[in-house]
Amino acid sequence: MRTIEWDVDGRRVFGLAAGRGEPVLLLHGYPQSAACWRHQIEALAVNHHVVAPDWPGFGRSDPPSTAPTYVNEVDRIERLAQRLGWQRFNLCVHDYGGLIGLGYTIRHPERVLRLALLNTRAHGTFRPWFYRYSSAQHWIATNSAISVAVQHLPLARLHHLALARYRDIGCFDTELETEYLGWMSTRRGRRTYWEFFAHYPVPAVPWLAEGLGTIQCPVSVIWG
């Protein structure tokens, strides 16, 4: 497994890559990085060319060059695929990566060989507090007076506290948590965080449901 770097939209995008063969693109969730796929990369690389980027704004990658609106994020997948020189590829996506990966598959059904959706976002499956939390984050991020003030919050520390129960049961260790949250410790990272929530689509995206029937490839949905 090796660390690689690409130029996408004039920004540096870091990632992990391994293997040779049919392409597989792994997209992580929030607030993770490519490191969350470290075990799967080794297994898949036996007979696939596997690439797992730190999505722009996360991990070691630069913030995106355009606002992280839903359509922009979906289109960024296409530009990354073009940068990799891939015509068709397998797409395995988790959490936020699943939200944008599903949109990509609907917009570019001819490009995706197989789609695996892992514990991603689906309306009706979240508890009410999630919608209140996301709506509050969006409101803060779009309120100009408040958004400036909250950029000084210790986001990495707050997320460290919020993730305590998962850390305690061994979901990840301190080194991996630092990989996930380190970008929040910088001024640029905190600005990127609030920019992310300013454009995060809390309501359902209507054309996703409408476009499910256009998906041509085999799909595996894993939840739990």
Along the 224 residues of the chain, how does pLDDT read in single tens digits? Answer: 999 999 999 999 999 999 999 999 999 999 899 999 999 999 999 999 999 999 999 999 999 999 999 999 999 999 999 999 999 999 999 999 999 999 999 999 999 999 999 999 876 667 788 888 889 999 999 998 898 889 899 999 999 999 899 888 988 888 888 888 999 999 999 999 999 999 988 788 889 989 999 999 999 999 87
The answer to whether 14 and 54 have CB atoms below 8 angstroms apart is: yes
- Helices 96-107/70-84 angle, 10° precision: 70
Dig out the tokens for 104 from the structure.
């990509």
| Buried/exposed 120-132: b ≥16 CB within 10 Å, e otherwise | bbeeeeeeeeeee
Indicate which CATH number applies to the domain containing 69: 3.40.50.1820
Same domain, 165 and 213: no
Same domain, 109 and 159: no
Same domain, 118 and 20: yes
Same domain, 14 and 65: yes
Same domain, 118 and 219: yes
Q: Is the pTM of this model over 0.85?
A: yes
Give the pLDDT of residue 130: 81
Same domain, 96 and 132: no
Give the pLDDT of residue 205: 87
Total structural domains within the chain? 2
- Measured CA to CA, the distance from residue 36 to residue 200 in angstroms comes to 22
Same domain, 79 and 182: no
- Measured CA to CA, the distance from residue 76 to residue 210 in angstroms comes to 22
Which residues constitute the domain of residue 69?
1-123+204-224
In sequence order, what are the residues at sequence separation of 6 or more whose Cβ sits closer than 8 angstroms to the Cβ of residue 69?
A: 199
Same domain, 198 and 208: no
